[in-house]
Amino acid sequence: MRGIATVLAAALLAGCAAESRRGPVRWVDPFIGTDGTGHAFPGPSRPWGMVQPGPDNRDCCWDYTSGYQYRDTVILGFSQTRANGTGIAELGDVLLQPFTGMNPELGGTTYRKDREHAGPGRYTVALNNGVHVEVASTSRVAMYRFSAQSGSMGLVLDLQHGLRAFTDSLVLESGYTVHSPQRISGFARKANWVDRRYFFVVELSEPFAQLRLAERRPKSAADRLILNFDPRTTEVRVKVALSTVSEEGAAANVRAELPHWSLQKVVRDAQKEWNGYLQRVRIDAPSDVKKVWYTSMYRTMLQPSNIADVDGRFRGPDDQIHQSEHPSKTYYSTFSLWDTYRAAHPWYTVVVPERVPEFTYSLVRHSELFGHLPIWTLWGQENYCMIGNHAVPVLADAAHKGLLGVSESRVREAVLRTLNAPHRNSDWGLLGRHGYYPFDLVPDESVSRTLEHGVDDDAASRLFHLWGEVPESEFFARRAQNYRQLWDTATQLLRGRSSAGVWRTPFDSLTATSPLNNPGDFTEANAMQYLWTPAQYDHQGLVELLGDSAAMERKLDRFFAVPARNPQRYLGQEAMMGQYAHGNEPSHHVAYLYALVGRPDKTAERVAKICADFYRPRPDGLIGNDDCGQMSAWYLLSTLGFYPVNPSNATYVLGAMQVRGAVLQRPEGRIRLRPHPEGIQVNGRLLKGPVVAHRQLFSQP
DSSP string for 64-85: GTTS--TT--EE-EEES---SS
Residue 276 lies in a domain: no
Residue 89 lies in a domain: yes
pLDDT at 196 over 60: yes
pLDDT at 62 over 80: yes
Same-domain pairing of 232 and 303: no
Residue 487 lies in a domain: yes
In this prediction, residue 701 carries a pLDDT of: 65
Same-domain pairing of 253 and 323: no
pLDDT at 8 over 70: no
pLDDT at 661 over 80: yes
Among 1-10, 349-358, 440-449, name the one with the lowest average pLDDT: 1-10
Average pLDDT, the chain: 94
CB 127 within 8 A of CB 57: no
pLDDT at 696 over 80: yes
* Vertex 379: Cα angle to 305 and 200 (nearest 5): 95
- The CATH number that applies at residue 342 is 1.20.1610.10
Same-domain pairing of 255 and 300: no
State the Cα–Cα distance between residues 418 and 412, nearest whole angstrom.
10
Same-domain pairing of 517 and 626: yes
Residue 269 lies in a domain: no
Residue 387 lies in a domain: yes
| Longest CA span, the chain | 80
Find the mean pLDDT for residues 49-70: 96
CB 628 within 8 A of CB 340: yes
Read off the pTM: 0.95
Find the mean pLDDT for residues 242-248: 98
Counting the structural domains of the chain, the total is: 2
In this prediction, residue 466 carries a pLDDT of: 98
Same-domain pairing of 411 and 519: yes
Same-domain pairing of 424 and 545: yes
In this prediction, residue 22 carries a pLDDT of: 86
Of residues 425 and 34, more confidence is placed in 34
Same-domain pairing of 209 and 309: no
Same-domain pairing of 367 and 427: yes
Q: What percent of the chain has pLDDT over 70?
A: 97
Reported residue count of the chain is 701
Same-domain pairing of 203 and 294: no
Find the mean pLDDT for residues 460-474: 98
In this prediction, residue 476 carries a pLDDT of: 98
pLDDT at 12 over 60: no
Among 244-258, 493-507, 565-579, name the one with the lowest average pLDDT: 565-579
- Grade residue 479 by pLDDT with cuts at 50, 70 and 90: very high
Find the mean pLDDT for residues 600-629: 97
CB 159 within 8 A of CB 186: yes
Q: What percent of the chain has pLDDT over 90?
A: 91
CB 73 within 8 A of CB 110: yes
Residue 272 lies in a domain: no
Same-domain pairing of 554 and 677: yes
- The CATH number that applies at residue 91 is 2.70.98.10
CB 327 within 8 A of CB 312: no
Instruction: Spell out where 495-603 has E strands.
Output: 576-577, 580-581
In this prediction, residue 514 carries a pLDDT of: 86
Which of 209, 244, 260 is at the close of a domain? 260
Find the mean pLDDT for residues 685-689: 94
H helices, E strands: number in the chain: 19, 34
The domain containing residue 365 runs over which residues? 285-697
pLDDT at 481 over 50: yes
In this prediction, residue 17 carries a pLDDT of: 44
Same-domain pairing of 318 and 241: no
Cα end-to-end span (Å), the chain? 64
Nearest CA to 478 out of 461, 456, 453, 496 is that of 461
In this prediction, residue 386 carries a pLDDT of: 93
Residue 278 lies in a domain: no
Of residues 462 and 7, more confidence is placed in 462
Which of 211, 226, 260 is at the close of a domain? 260
State the Cα–Cα distance between residues 474 and 457, nearest whole angstrom.
10
Residue 274 lies in a domain: no
Same-domain pairing of 322 and 429: yes
Beta carbons within 8 Å of 600's beta carbon, 6+ residues apart:
594, 654, 655, 656, 689, 690
- Grade residue 151 by pLDDT with cuts at 50, 70 and 90: confident
Q: In what order do the strands lie in the sheet with 54-56?
A: 54-56, 77-79, 95-100, 153-158, 224-229, 208-213
Find the mean pLDDT for residues 286-313: 98
